Structure 1
Amino acid sequence: MADRVPLDFDPPVRQIRALLLGVDDRDLPASTPCPGWPVAALLDHLMGLSLAFAMTARKRAGAPGTGGPPPEPSAAHLSPHWRSRLPVLLADLSIAWKDPAAWTGTAQAGGVTMPAAAMGAVAMNELVMHGWDLARATGQDYAADPRALEVLVEFLGQGPSEGTPGLFGPRVLTDPASEDLLTRALGLAGRDPAWRPPRRRPVSSTSRSRPTGG
Protein backbone atom coordinates (compact mmCIF):
# COMPACT_ATOMS: atom_id res chain seq x y z
CA MET A 1 0.00 0.00 0.00
CA ALA A 2 1.23 3.49 -0.85
CA ASP A 3 0.47 4.82 2.61
CA ARG A 4 2.48 2.20 4.52
CA VAL A 5 5.55 3.37 6.42
CA PRO A 6 8.48 1.12 7.41
CA LEU A 7 8.29 1.68 11.16
CA ASP A 8 5.61 2.66 13.64
CA PHE A 9 6.84 5.09 16.29
CA ASP A 10 3.73 4.76 18.44
CA PRO A 11 4.93 1.73 20.52
CA PRO A 12 8.26 3.23 21.71
CA VAL A 13 6.60 6.61 22.29
CA ARG A 14 3.88 5.00 24.42
CA GLN A 15 6.54 3.07 26.31
CA ILE A 16 8.59 6.16 27.16
CA ARG A 17 5.52 8.19 28.09
CA ALA A 18 4.52 5.42 30.51
CA LEU A 19 8.04 5.33 31.95
CA LEU A 20 7.95 9.08 32.58
CA LEU A 21 5.10 8.53 35.03
CA GLY A 22 7.45 6.40 37.12
CA VAL A 23 10.27 8.96 37.30
CA ASP A 24 10.51 10.58 40.70
CA ASP A 25 12.42 13.82 41.25
CA ARG A 26 14.79 11.80 43.40
CA ASP A 27 15.69 9.79 40.27
CA LEU A 28 17.00 12.82 38.37
CA PRO A 29 20.61 12.62 39.63
CA ALA A 30 20.75 8.81 39.30
CA SER A 31 23.20 7.13 36.93
CA THR A 32 22.11 5.78 33.55
CA PRO A 33 23.73 3.36 31.09
CA CYS A 34 24.96 6.45 29.19
CA PRO A 35 28.35 7.31 30.77
CA GLY A 36 28.31 10.71 32.42
CA TRP A 37 24.59 11.23 31.96
CA PRO A 38 22.31 11.25 34.99
CA VAL A 39 18.60 10.73 34.43
CA ALA A 40 18.07 14.50 34.14
CA ALA A 41 20.57 14.72 31.26
CA LEU A 42 18.94 11.73 29.57
CA LEU A 43 15.56 13.48 29.77
CA ASP A 44 17.13 16.64 28.33
CA HIS A 45 18.47 14.53 25.46
CA LEU A 46 15.08 12.93 24.85
CA MET A 47 13.52 16.39 24.59
CA GLY A 48 16.13 17.56 22.10
CA LEU A 49 16.04 14.47 19.92
CA SER A 50 12.24 14.38 19.87
CA LEU A 51 12.10 17.91 18.50
CA ALA A 52 14.99 17.36 16.08
CA PHE A 53 13.73 14.11 14.57
CA ALA A 54 10.24 15.53 14.13
CA MET A 55 11.79 18.36 12.11
CA THR A 56 13.91 15.80 10.25
CA ALA A 57 10.82 13.82 9.23
CA ARG A 58 9.25 17.02 7.90
CA LYS A 59 12.45 17.79 5.93
CA ARG A 60 12.92 21.12 7.69
CA ALA A 61 16.66 21.41 7.17
CA GLY A 62 18.20 24.09 9.35
CA ALA A 63 15.59 23.70 12.09
CA PRO A 64 16.91 23.24 15.65
CA GLY A 65 18.76 19.95 15.95
CA THR A 66 18.98 19.29 12.20
CA GLY A 67 21.62 21.62 10.78
CA GLY A 68 24.40 20.96 13.27
CA PRO A 69 25.50 18.74 16.12
CA PRO A 70 23.15 18.91 19.10
CA PRO A 71 24.36 20.44 22.37
CA GLU A 72 25.70 18.05 24.97
CA PRO A 73 22.82 16.85 27.15
CA SER A 74 22.85 18.51 30.55
CA ALA A 75 20.93 18.17 33.77
CA ALA A 76 21.27 21.93 34.18
CA HIS A 77 19.49 22.55 30.87
CA LEU A 78 16.52 20.26 31.55
CA SER A 79 13.32 22.25 31.26
CA PRO A 80 11.43 22.57 34.55
CA HIS A 81 8.34 21.72 32.49
CA TRP A 82 9.70 18.44 31.13
CA ARG A 83 6.88 16.38 32.65
CA SER A 84 4.28 18.14 30.51
CA ARG A 85 6.47 19.09 27.54
CA LEU A 86 8.31 15.83 26.77
CA PRO A 87 5.16 13.71 26.20
CA VAL A 88 3.95 16.32 23.68
CA LEU A 89 7.28 16.32 21.84
CA LEU A 90 7.29 12.52 21.70
CA ALA A 91 3.75 12.42 20.32
CA ASP A 92 4.66 14.98 17.65
CA LEU A 93 7.69 12.89 16.66
CA SER A 94 5.47 9.87 16.14
CA ILE A 95 2.98 11.87 14.08
CA ALA A 96 5.74 13.28 11.87
CA TRP A 97 7.03 9.83 10.88
CA LYS A 98 3.53 8.60 9.96
CA ASP A 99 3.78 10.61 6.73
CA PRO A 100 5.14 8.36 3.95
CA ALA A 101 7.00 11.39 2.59
CA ALA A 102 9.18 11.34 5.71
CA TRP A 103 10.73 8.09 4.46
CA THR A 104 11.59 9.25 0.93
CA GLY A 105 14.64 11.03 -0.41
CA THR A 106 17.22 12.25 2.08
CA ALA A 107 16.92 13.70 5.57
CA GLN A 108 19.15 15.71 7.89
CA ALA A 109 19.69 15.51 11.63
CA GLY A 110 22.57 16.68 13.78
CA GLY A 111 24.30 18.09 10.71
CA VAL A 112 24.34 14.65 9.05
CA THR A 113 22.49 13.89 5.81
CA MET A 114 21.56 10.33 4.87
CA PRO A 115 18.76 8.43 3.17
CA ALA A 116 15.50 9.20 4.94
CA ALA A 117 14.76 5.51 5.58
CA ALA A 118 18.11 5.12 7.35
CA MET A 119 17.47 8.29 9.34
CA GLY A 120 14.12 6.86 10.43
CA ALA A 121 15.95 3.79 11.72
CA VAL A 122 18.36 6.05 13.62
CA ALA A 123 15.43 7.87 15.21
CA MET A 124 13.79 4.59 16.18
CA ASN A 125 17.05 3.36 17.65
CA GLU A 126 17.33 6.51 19.75
CA LEU A 127 13.89 5.97 21.22
CA VAL A 128 14.33 2.26 21.90
CA MET A 129 17.79 2.56 23.42
CA HIS A 130 17.04 5.60 25.53
CA GLY A 131 13.74 4.11 26.60
CA TRP A 132 15.70 1.12 27.88
CA ASP A 133 18.23 3.48 29.51
CA LEU A 134 15.46 5.29 31.36
CA ALA A 135 13.76 2.08 32.47
CA ARG A 136 16.98 0.51 33.70
CA ALA A 137 18.09 3.70 35.51
CA THR A 138 14.76 4.07 37.33
CA GLY A 139 14.10 0.40 38.08
CA GLN A 140 11.16 -0.03 35.70
CA ASP A 141 10.22 -2.81 33.28
CA TYR A 142 10.85 -2.35 29.58
CA ALA A 143 9.39 -4.14 26.56
CA ALA A 144 10.26 -3.07 23.03
CA ASP A 145 8.18 -3.62 19.91
CA PRO A 146 9.45 -6.88 18.27
CA ARG A 147 8.97 -5.53 14.74
CA ALA A 148 11.08 -2.49 15.51
CA LEU A 149 13.73 -4.69 17.12
CA GLU A 150 13.96 -6.87 14.01
CA VAL A 151 14.65 -3.79 11.91
CA LEU A 152 17.15 -2.42 14.43
CA VAL A 153 19.10 -5.67 14.69
CA GLU A 154 19.50 -5.69 10.92
CA PHE A 155 20.32 -1.97 10.79
CA LEU A 156 22.80 -2.03 13.67
CA GLY A 157 24.42 -5.19 12.36
CA GLN A 158 25.56 -3.28 9.28
CA GLY A 159 27.70 -0.90 11.34
CA PRO A 160 31.35 -1.37 12.31
CA SER A 161 32.06 -3.49 15.38
CA GLU A 162 34.16 -0.68 16.87
CA GLY A 163 31.10 1.58 16.91
CA THR A 164 30.38 4.95 15.32
CA PRO A 165 31.51 8.02 17.31
CA GLY A 166 28.55 10.12 18.34
CA LEU A 167 26.07 7.37 17.54
CA PHE A 168 27.01 3.90 18.77
CA GLY A 169 29.62 2.53 21.14
CA PRO A 170 31.74 -0.56 20.43
CA ARG A 171 29.63 -3.69 20.22
CA VAL A 172 29.04 -5.73 23.35
CA LEU A 173 29.14 -9.36 22.30
CA THR A 174 26.03 -11.43 22.91
CA ASP A 175 25.06 -14.92 21.77
CA PRO A 176 22.63 -14.57 18.83
CA ALA A 177 21.49 -18.16 19.32
CA SER A 178 20.36 -17.66 22.90
CA GLU A 179 19.65 -13.97 23.40
CA ASP A 180 16.36 -12.21 22.65
CA LEU A 181 16.05 -9.44 20.09
CA LEU A 182 16.28 -6.63 22.65
CA THR A 183 19.50 -8.02 24.11
CA ARG A 184 21.00 -8.39 20.64
CA ALA A 185 20.01 -4.86 19.67
CA LEU A 186 21.46 -3.46 22.90
CA GLY A 187 24.77 -5.23 22.32
CA LEU A 188 24.97 -4.11 18.69
CA ALA A 189 24.35 -0.50 19.79
CA GLY A 190 27.16 -0.71 22.35
CA ARG A 191 24.99 -1.18 25.44
CA ASP A 192 25.80 -3.70 28.17
CA PRO A 193 22.51 -5.60 28.56
CA ALA A 194 23.54 -6.54 32.10
CA TRP A 195 23.95 -2.92 33.25
CA ARG A 196 22.40 -2.10 36.59
CA PRO A 197 22.50 1.22 38.46
CA PRO A 198 24.92 1.41 41.37
CA ARG A 199 23.26 0.89 44.71
CA ARG A 200 22.32 4.14 46.36
CA ARG A 201 23.71 4.58 49.83
CA PRO A 202 20.83 4.91 52.28
CA VAL A 203 20.74 8.01 54.42
CA SER A 204 20.97 7.05 58.07
CA SER A 205 18.61 8.45 60.63
CA THR A 206 21.66 9.97 62.35
CA SER A 207 22.55 11.88 59.18
CA ARG A 208 19.00 13.10 58.69
CA SER A 209 18.79 14.44 62.23
CA ARG A 210 22.25 15.94 62.39
CA PRO A 211 22.12 19.69 63.24
CA THR A 212 23.27 21.99 60.46
CA GLY A 213 24.01 25.01 62.62
CA GLY A 214 27.36 25.84 64.22
Structure 2
Amino acid sequence: MKISSLLDGARKQAEPVIRNITDDQLDARTPCAEYTVGDLLNHLLHVVISFQELAAKRMADFSTTPDRLTGDWRALFATEAEELVAAWAAPGADEGTSGQMGLPATTVGRMALLDLTVHAWDLAHATGQDFTPDPDAVTALFELVDQMGPTAREMNVFGAPVDVPADADPFQKLLAATGRTPV
Protein backbone atom coordinates (compact mmCIF):
# COMPACT_ATOMS: atom_id res chain seq x y z
CA MET A 1 0.00 0.00 0.00
CA LYS A 2 1.32 3.46 -0.91
CA ILE A 3 2.45 5.67 1.96
CA SER A 4 0.04 8.42 0.84
CA SER A 5 -2.90 6.02 1.25
CA LEU A 6 -1.67 4.98 4.68
CA LEU A 7 -1.22 8.62 5.70
CA ASP A 8 -4.71 9.43 4.44
CA GLY A 9 -6.21 6.66 6.59
CA ALA A 10 -4.26 7.89 9.63
CA ARG A 11 -5.28 11.49 8.92
CA LYS A 12 -8.94 10.50 8.87
CA GLN A 13 -8.57 8.89 12.29
CA ALA A 14 -6.53 11.74 13.80
CA GLU A 15 -8.60 14.71 12.66
CA PRO A 16 -11.66 14.04 14.87
CA VAL A 17 -9.38 13.70 17.90
CA ILE A 18 -7.70 17.04 17.16
CA ARG A 19 -11.01 18.73 16.37
CA ASN A 20 -12.49 17.64 19.73
CA ILE A 21 -9.64 18.87 21.93
CA THR A 22 -10.83 21.87 23.93
CA ASP A 23 -8.68 24.84 24.84
CA ASP A 24 -8.98 24.00 28.54
CA GLN A 25 -7.31 20.63 27.85
CA LEU A 26 -4.11 22.11 26.40
CA ASP A 27 -2.29 21.96 29.76
CA ALA A 28 -3.24 18.32 30.45
CA ARG A 29 -0.50 15.70 30.68
CA THR A 30 -0.03 13.16 27.91
CA PRO A 31 1.55 9.69 27.78
CA CYS A 32 4.64 11.53 26.48
CA ALA A 33 5.98 12.66 29.85
CA GLU A 34 7.68 15.79 28.54
CA TYR A 35 4.61 17.02 26.63
CA THR A 36 1.34 18.60 27.62
CA VAL A 37 -1.55 18.27 25.18
CA GLY A 38 -0.65 21.69 23.76
CA ASP A 39 3.03 20.77 23.44
CA LEU A 40 2.18 17.51 21.69
CA LEU A 41 -0.28 19.22 19.33
CA ASN A 42 2.40 21.73 18.45
CA HIS A 43 4.91 18.91 17.89
CA LEU A 44 2.47 16.97 15.71
CA LEU A 45 1.70 20.04 13.60
CA HIS A 46 5.43 20.60 13.17
CA VAL A 47 5.88 16.98 12.08
CA VAL A 48 2.97 17.16 9.62
CA ILE A 49 4.39 20.33 8.04
CA SER A 50 8.06 19.27 8.09
CA PHE A 51 7.40 15.87 6.55
CA GLN A 52 5.77 17.61 3.59
CA GLU A 53 9.20 19.10 2.88
CA LEU A 54 10.86 15.70 3.24
CA ALA A 55 8.39 14.19 0.75
CA ALA A 56 9.51 16.84 -1.74
CA LYS A 57 13.17 15.92 -1.04
CA ARG A 58 13.77 19.31 0.61
CA MET A 59 15.37 20.02 3.96
CA ALA A 60 13.14 20.31 7.02
CA ASP A 61 14.07 22.27 10.13
CA PHE A 62 13.73 20.16 13.26
CA SER A 63 15.96 22.41 15.40
CA THR A 64 13.00 24.33 16.82
CA THR A 65 9.26 23.86 17.01
CA PRO A 66 7.42 27.09 16.25
CA ASP A 67 4.24 27.84 18.20
CA ARG A 68 1.46 26.88 15.81
CA LEU A 69 -1.37 26.90 18.36
CA THR A 70 -2.60 30.32 17.37
CA GLY A 71 -5.74 31.16 15.47
CA ASP A 72 -7.78 28.16 14.35
CA TRP A 73 -5.19 25.46 14.94
CA ARG A 74 -7.81 22.73 14.48
CA ALA A 75 -8.45 23.89 10.90
CA LEU A 76 -4.69 24.34 10.41
CA PHE A 77 -4.12 20.72 11.41
CA ALA A 78 -6.81 19.48 8.99
CA THR A 79 -5.36 21.53 6.13
CA GLU A 80 -1.76 20.56 6.81
CA ALA A 81 -2.64 16.88 7.25
CA GLU A 82 -4.30 16.93 3.83
CA GLU A 83 -1.19 18.62 2.44
CA LEU A 84 0.95 15.87 4.00
CA VAL A 85 -1.06 13.23 2.17
CA ALA A 86 -0.80 15.20 -1.08
CA ALA A 87 2.96 15.65 -0.66
CA TRP A 88 3.49 11.92 -0.27
CA ALA A 89 1.15 11.18 -3.20
CA ALA A 90 3.30 13.28 -5.55
CA PRO A 91 5.22 11.28 -8.15
CA GLY A 92 8.57 10.14 -6.77
CA ALA A 93 7.87 11.12 -3.16
CA ASP A 94 8.24 7.54 -1.97
CA GLU A 95 11.35 6.83 -4.07
CA GLY A 96 15.03 7.32 -3.28
CA THR A 97 16.11 9.08 -0.13
CA SER A 98 14.31 11.89 1.61
CA GLY A 99 15.74 15.19 2.81
CA GLN A 100 18.61 15.45 5.22
CA MET A 101 17.78 12.21 6.99
CA GLY A 102 19.49 10.13 4.33
CA LEU A 103 16.94 7.38 4.85
CA PRO A 104 14.82 5.65 2.24
CA ALA A 105 11.80 7.79 1.45
CA THR A 106 9.47 4.93 2.37
CA THR A 107 11.02 4.81 5.86
CA VAL A 108 10.66 8.57 6.27
CA GLY A 109 7.04 8.43 5.15
CA ARG A 110 6.36 5.71 7.69
CA MET A 111 7.98 7.85 10.38
CA ALA A 112 5.34 10.50 9.63
CA LEU A 113 2.71 7.76 9.73
CA LEU A 114 3.98 6.61 13.13
CA ASP A 115 3.80 10.11 14.60
CA LEU A 116 0.36 10.72 13.16
CA THR A 117 -1.00 7.41 14.45
CA VAL A 118 0.64 7.12 17.85
CA HIS A 119 0.38 10.80 18.78
CA ALA A 120 -3.31 10.80 17.84
CA TRP A 121 -3.70 8.00 20.40
CA ASP A 122 -1.61 9.97 22.92
CA LEU A 123 -3.87 12.99 22.46
CA ALA A 124 -7.06 10.94 22.59
CA HIS A 125 -5.86 9.18 25.74
CA ALA A 126 -4.92 12.49 27.41
CA THR A 127 -8.25 14.11 26.58
CA GLY A 128 -10.58 11.20 27.35
CA GLN A 129 -11.46 10.39 23.75
CA ASP A 130 -11.79 7.07 22.01
CA PHE A 131 -9.33 6.35 19.23
CA THR A 132 -9.36 3.57 16.69
CA PRO A 133 -6.32 3.59 14.43
CA ASP A 134 -6.42 2.78 10.77
CA PRO A 135 -5.67 -0.98 10.72
CA ASP A 136 -3.53 -0.72 7.57
CA ALA A 137 -1.38 1.90 9.29
CA VAL A 138 -0.86 -0.36 12.30
CA THR A 139 0.22 -3.25 10.08
CA ALA A 140 2.61 -1.01 8.14
CA LEU A 141 4.21 0.36 11.31
CA PHE A 142 5.37 -2.89 12.91
CA GLU A 143 8.38 -3.23 10.61
CA LEU A 144 9.36 0.41 11.19
CA VAL A 145 9.13 0.09 14.98
CA ASP A 146 11.21 -3.10 14.88
CA GLN A 147 13.77 -1.46 12.60
CA MET A 148 14.01 1.93 14.34
CA GLY A 149 13.20 0.85 17.90
CA PRO A 150 16.75 0.55 19.28
CA THR A 151 17.82 3.91 17.85
CA ALA A 152 14.55 5.54 18.93
CA ARG A 153 15.10 4.30 22.49
CA GLU A 154 18.70 5.59 22.50
CA MET A 155 17.41 9.00 21.41
CA ASN A 156 14.60 8.89 24.03
CA VAL A 157 11.98 8.98 21.29
CA PHE A 158 10.59 5.62 22.48
CA GLY A 159 10.49 4.37 26.02
CA ALA A 160 11.41 0.84 27.02
CA PRO A 161 8.98 -1.73 25.61
CA VAL A 162 6.05 -2.52 27.87
CA ASP A 163 4.69 -6.03 28.41
CA VAL A 164 1.17 -6.66 27.17
CA PRO A 165 -1.03 -9.73 27.49
CA ALA A 166 -0.72 -12.36 24.78
CA ASP A 167 -4.23 -11.52 23.59
CA ALA A 168 -3.46 -7.80 23.14
CA ASP A 169 -4.62 -6.43 19.81
CA PRO A 170 -2.05 -5.31 17.20
CA PHE A 171 -2.34 -1.63 18.10
CA GLN A 172 -1.82 -2.33 21.80
CA LYS A 173 1.31 -4.30 20.84
CA LEU A 174 2.52 -1.41 18.70
CA LEU A 175 1.94 1.10 21.51
CA ALA A 176 3.76 -1.18 23.95
CA ALA A 177 6.71 -1.47 21.55
CA THR A 178 7.04 2.35 21.67
CA GLY A 179 7.05 2.35 25.48
CA ARG A 180 3.42 3.28 26.01
CA THR A 181 1.09 1.47 28.37
CA PRO A 182 -2.03 0.69 26.34
CA VAL A 183 -5.21 1.12 28.35
| Common fold by TM > 0.5 | yes
Percentage of pairs with the same residue: 33
Match status 1:49 vs 2:47: yes
Counterpart amino acid of residue 94 in structure 1: V
Q: Does 1:27 align with 2:25?
A: yes
Q: Provide the secondary structure at the position in 1 that maps to 2:44.
A: helix
Instruction: Note if contact 1:163-1:171 (Cα within 8 Å) is conserved in structure 2.
Output: no
Bigger mean CA offset, 152-161 vs 33-42: 152-161
Computing the radius of gyration over CA atoms, which structure comes out larger, 1 or 2? 1
**Mapped partners of 1:142, 1:41: distance in 2:** 19
- Flag the structure with more relative contact order, 1 or 2, with Cα contacts below 8 A and sequence separation at least 6: 2
Measure how far apart 1:85 and its partner are.
1.5
Say if 2:100 is the partner of 1:103. no
Structure 2 residue runs of 5 or longer lacking an equivalent are none
- 3-state SS, counterpart of residue 23 of structure 1: coil
Give the aligned residue type for 1:173.
D
2:161: which partner in 1? 171
Distance (Å, rounded) in 2 between the aligned partners of 1:164 and 1:103: 27
TM-score under structure 1 length normalisation? 0.76
Which consecutive unaligned segments of at least 5 residues does structure 1 have?
195-214
Secondary structure at the aligned position of 1:80 is classed as: coil
Shift of 1:107: 0.7
Q: Between Structure 1 and Structure 2, which shows a larger proportion of helix residues?
A: 2
RMSD of aligned residue pairs (Cα, Å):
2.1
1:100, distance to aligned residue in structure 2 (A): 4.5
Is 1:191–2:151 an aligned residue pair?
no
**Alignment partners' CA distance in 2, 1:162 and 1:8:** 22
- Residue 5 (str. 1) matches residue 2 (str. 2): yes
| TM-score, scaled relative to structure 2 | 0.88
Once residues 63 and 159 of structure 2 are traced to their aligned partners in structure 1, the CA distance between those partners, rounded to angstroms, is 18
Show CA shifts across 1:118-146 (max 9, x none).
Answer: 11111100100110011101111101111
Structure 2 distance, partners of 1:162, 1:98, is 26
**Alpha-carbon distance, 1:45 to partner:** 0.7
